[in-house]
Structure 1
Amino acid sequence: MSDKVTKAKNKLDKAVAKRDKLDAKIPKKKKQRLYEKESAKSTLKFSEDMPKPSAKLLDKPKGASGMERVVQKAPQNTLKATIHQEISKNEDDNVGVESVHKTEQSAEFAYNRTKSAYRHQKEKPYLKLEKAETKVQKAGVNYSHQKALASDPSVASNPISRFQQKQAIKKQYATAFRQGGQSTASAVKATVQKGASAVSTAVSAVAKNPKVWLVIGCAFLLIVIVASVVSSCSVLVTGSLSQTVGTSYPSEDADIVSVDNQYTLMETNLQAKIDGVESTYPNYDEYRYNLDSIHHNSHQLAAYLTALKLYYQAGAVDGQLQTMFDNQYTLTITSEVEVRYRTEERTGTYTTTDEDGNVTEHEYTYEVQVPYNYYILNVTLDNKGVDTVANDLLSAEELEMYLVYKETQGNKPLLFGGGSTDGSPSTDLTGVVFVDGERTGNQNIVDIAMTQVGNVGGEPYWSWYGFDSRVEWCACYVSWVLNQAGYSEPKFASCQSQGVPYFSSQGRWASVGYADIAAGDVIFFDWDGDNSADHVGIVVGTDGSRVYTVEGNSGDACKVRDYAINSSVIMGYGLMN
Structure 2
Amino acid sequence: MEKRAPRLQFTEEEQTDPVLKKFVHREQKAAVKADRAQAKVPKKTALKRQRAVDPATGKVTTRLKFEEVDKKKPPKFTHAVRDAPGNAVLMQFHREIRQSEDENVGVEAAHKSEESAETGGRLAHSAHRSHKLKPYRESAKAEKRLDRANLGYLQKKAARDNPLLSGNPLAHWRQKRAVKKQYAAAKRAGHFTGSAGKAAQNTSKAAKTAAREGKRAAAFVGRHRNGFLITAGIFLVLVLLLNILSSSSVLLEGALSGVTASTYPSTDDAMLGAEAAYAQKEADLQDEIDHYETQHPGYDEYHYDLDKIGHDPYVLISILTAWHGGEWTLDEVRDMLSALFSKEYQLTQTVETETRTRTETDTVTDPDGTTHTETRQVPYTYTICNVKLHNEDLSHLPISIMNEDQVGVYSMYMSTLGNRPDLFPSSAYPNASTVKKPTEYDIPPEAMADARFVAMMTEAKKYIGYPYVWGGSSPKTSFDCSGYVSWVINHSGWNVGRLGAQGLCDICTPASHADVRPGDLVFFEHTYDTDGVSHVGIYVGNGMMLAAGDPIGYSNLNNSYWQIHFYTFGRLPNP
| Higher RCO, 1 vs 2 (CA within 8 Å, ≥6 residues apart) | 2
Question: Fold-level match, TM-score > 0.5?
Answer: no
Larger Rg: 1 or 2? 1
